[in-house]
Structure 1
Amino acid sequence: MHYPEPTTYSRKECTCTPVRFFAILSMQRSGSGWFETLLNSHVNVSSNGEIFSIKERRANVSSIMETLDKVYNLDWYTSASKNECTAAVGLKWMLNQGLMQHQKEIIEYFNKRGVSAILLFRRNLLCRLVSVLANSHDRNAKQLNGTHKAHVHSKDEADVLARYKPTINTTLLIPELKHTDKWGADALEHFKSTRHILLYYEDLVHNSTKLMDVLDFLRLPQQMLSSRQVKIHSKLLSDQIDNWDAVYTALKGTEYESFLNADYQI
């Protein structure tokens, strides 16, 4: 338990309220944005977004530690901040944002400061790849009135973004899936020495009790969690890939064959 003393404001009557520290460790397009909005719907949770997307904040170990100290001292202000009412504070951190590069020092920091790691991945890496390619396309195409949106809050916006069907390079497909799979496994291997919980996006979607497990993990009072985000890809996976037949042939009979049977409606 922690009792931060922010320099930018007073916690007032909540000074004696303990605060849990956490970090959501994930990969892009793995449901971490949606998951974070769910956590932030809790009255006592402040998860401050993808802070280390700014390169200067992850330029070296010192800048990383300085940023983390500011977050966990409740001196990092975002729209998610609950200030004096905060009982759990954290951030979202992608594996490619200095996390794996400096994992030794970060793990030492987590264990020293009592930061709990929430590892969130996707089981179906083909679904993730479709989302990555579609998001990359929209970053250039800006299909929503000239604006790029990684997440949307209306079905109309989701339908616009879902119209794009990526063509997947089948020569590179299996190496790409293997690389992503190993990346997640390496992260789990490194951070298993911290207090951690392993989550999969698909399980969170299928089983709402998984969210309650997270609140228990953070030792927070249970309450219903909600998000305004609308899922972009809601059709069958076969309807979301332009060269589906080639992808099917490439994965049939491999260790990744099960990915072909995924229903995007989860």
Structure 2
Amino acid sequence: MVVLFFAMVCGVYICSICLKQMSQNTKAKFLNIKVVNNDHQNSCPSSAHNNDIVLDQSLHYPQPGTFTREECGCNPVRYFAILSMQRSGSGWFETLLNSHINVSSNGEIFSVRERRMNISSIVKTMDKVYNLDWFTSASKNECSAAVGFKWMLNQGLIQHHKEIVEYFKKKGVSAIFLFRRNLLRRMISVLANSYDKDAKLLNGTHKSHVHSPLEAQILAEYKPKINVTLMMDELNKANETMTRAIEYFKSTRHIVLYYEDVVNNRTKLKDVQEFLKLPYRELESRQIKIHTAPLSKQVENWDDVQKALNGTSFGSYLY
């Protein structure tokens, strides 16, 4: 009986000690979690001035209203915009960027007229993109290290360049210019793409970009006829537009790339990643080039085009 009584007393004592320790551990864990969360929020730097020290203006810590960035909340994000012209390789280039695990480039968002009706709608759209509240199939919002979009020069960019330049400088947006050196090849691509919008050669559907050699072959069979009378004016206009755009945005942080250089020299892609201060990755695209034949095989009235451009400043485009 004495042994049994002693065992019961010991059992009660041990249980009381265990319950007390469990209660203390639970409280300690709760307090620890709370402290970690507070430290996490306060440890995120600011892209503005902090204690009279100017931090990197290109670093941002968005707080989207549509979701929480969770563990990536303190990961800095850089803003960029790809500035280009239609049929200059910008779609292919953007798919290369989006193959980087830390990049979200959201496509040609200003192709929708309502978004570029005035500078207010333009700024509102850009704010939504850069705050990570814009969702596309390319979005990697939670842990994006660089977020941007593709913008054609004729989509309000030149028209509102003063206000946009100020926005870029204020927000620390980096501009990536992507142009095509051979403007004749660009013209052929524009005409062929315009024709396919009506003809819909691929089983009744129009595709500006393709992902199979067969689709590329079908689209490449069409040979546009170039209006030689208007050709020189169109080439001059395109060249002047590119020059003017670079001049307008020269005060922003920018890089100028040419499609031909990116195709022939893949180190250019490394330069882009360094420009955006991204960890280096091998970039890939599933897009297939449509026009691969010599220019003489792509134009219906090639002899007329050749005769008109020979001896001019655009003569090099023939080769």
SS at match of 2:251: coil
Alpha-carbon distance between aligned partners in 1 of 2:250 and 2:261, rounded to the nearest angstrom: 20
Partner residue, 2:178: 120
SS at match of 2:100: coil
SS at match of 1:117: strand
Partner residue, 1:264: none
- 1:87-166 residue pairs with structure 2 within 5 A? 87-166=145-224
Alpha-carbon distance between aligned partners in 2 of 1:35 and 1:47, rounded to the nearest angstrom: 10
Letter in 2 for 1:218: L
Determine which of 108, 112, 130 is the counterpart of 1:72: 130
- 1:22-101 residue pairs with structure 2 within 5 A? 22-101=80-159
Alpha-carbon distance between aligned partners in 2 of 1:20 and 1:31, rounded to the nearest angstrom: 23
Using structure 1 for the length normalisation, give the TM-score: 0.98
**What CA deviation, in whole Å up to 9, does each residue of 1:82-127 have, x standing for no partner?**
0211000000000000000000000000000000000000000000
Partner residue, 1:243: 301
Partner residue, 2:282: 224
Alpha-carbon distance between aligned partners in 2 of 1:234 and 1:12, rounded to the nearest angstrom: 46
Partner residue, 1:260: 318
- 1:175-186 residue pairs with structure 2 within 5 A? 175-186=233-244
SS at match of 1:21: strand
Alpha-carbon distance between aligned partners in 2 of 1:55 and 1:260, rounded to the nearest angstrom: 35
Alpha-carbon distance between aligned partners in 2 of 1:171 and 1:121, rounded to the nearest angstrom: 24
Partner residue, 1:6: 64
- Give the unaligned 5+ runs of structure 2: 1-58
SS at match of 1:69: helix
% identity of equivalent residues: 68
Alpha-carbon distance between aligned partners in 1 of 2:155 and 2:231, rounded to the nearest angstrom: 23
* Count, aligned residues: 261
Shift of 1:23: 0.2
SS at match of 1:231: coil
SS at match of 2:252: coil
| Runs of 4+ deviating beyond 4 Å | none
**What CA deviation, in whole Å up to 9, does each residue of 1:183-210 have, x standing for no partner?**
0000000011100000000000000000
**What CA deviation, in whole Å up to 9, does each residue of 1:133-180 have, x standing for no partner?**
000000010000100000000000000000000000111111110000
**What CA deviation, in whole Å up to 9, does each residue of 1:16-46 have, x standing for no partner?**
1100100000000000000000000000000
Partner residue, 1:197: 255
Alpha-carbon distance between aligned partners in 1 of 2:84 and 2:208, rounded to the nearest angstrom: 16
Alpha-carbon distance between aligned partners in 2 of 1:215 and 1:20, rounded to the nearest angstrom: 12
- Give the unaligned 5+ runs of structure 1: 262-266
Partner residue, 1:167: 225
Letter in 2 for 1:192: K
Structure number with the bigger relative contact order (C-alpha 8 A, sep ≥ 6) is 1
SS at match of 1:203: helix
Greater gyration radius: 2
Alpha-carbon distance between aligned partners in 2 of 1:259 and 1:221, rounded to the nearest angstrom: 36
Using structure 2 for the length normalisation, give the TM-score: 0.82
Letter in 2 for 1:20: R
